[in-house]
Amino acid sequence: MNKSVTKIRVRYAETDKMGIVHHANYYVYFEAAREDFIEAVNLKYSDMEDMGIMMPIVETECKYHEGARYGDDILIETSLEKLSPIKVELNYKVIRACDGKTLANGKTAQVFVDSKSFKIIRLNKKYPEVWKKFEKIEL
């Protein structure tokens, strides 16, 4: 697997006075897409957290091209940019479903940390079974 696609319908509450999606909501969309992406390789945040693994965001970026509007169906394509035993970087492409127009591009970087100490861990050493699932994701 090298990408996943998440479909979202823009809700009225996500728009601003200009009638477009407020910029902060794209990060909410990225979160939903990221969850779908890791679930595609049989991983769940809740299972990882139960094991003692957390994945805090350490970098984010979003470039806006055109605003999505209330009622738009949007697709978020999520793909792996880079993977190491301590960090995962993902790319996002937000597309309006009706015309295929790219509305935004984004990136996030997350590190793997121990849930108690919040210290960075090497996933391949501490949780090899989880690391093997991440390795199934193609660049």
Residues identified as active-site? 16
Whole-angstrom CA distances from 102 to 49, 84, 98, 111 are 33, 29, 11, 28
Strand, helix or coil for residue 133:
helix
User: For strand 102-111 and strand 113-114, is the pairing parallel, antiparallel, or unpaired?
Assistant: unpaired
Q: How far apart are CA 81 and CA 118, in angstroms?
A: 24
Please spell the DSSP secondary structure of 53-97, one letter per residue.
EE--EEEEEEEESS--BTT-EEEEEEEEEEE-SSEEEEEEEEEET
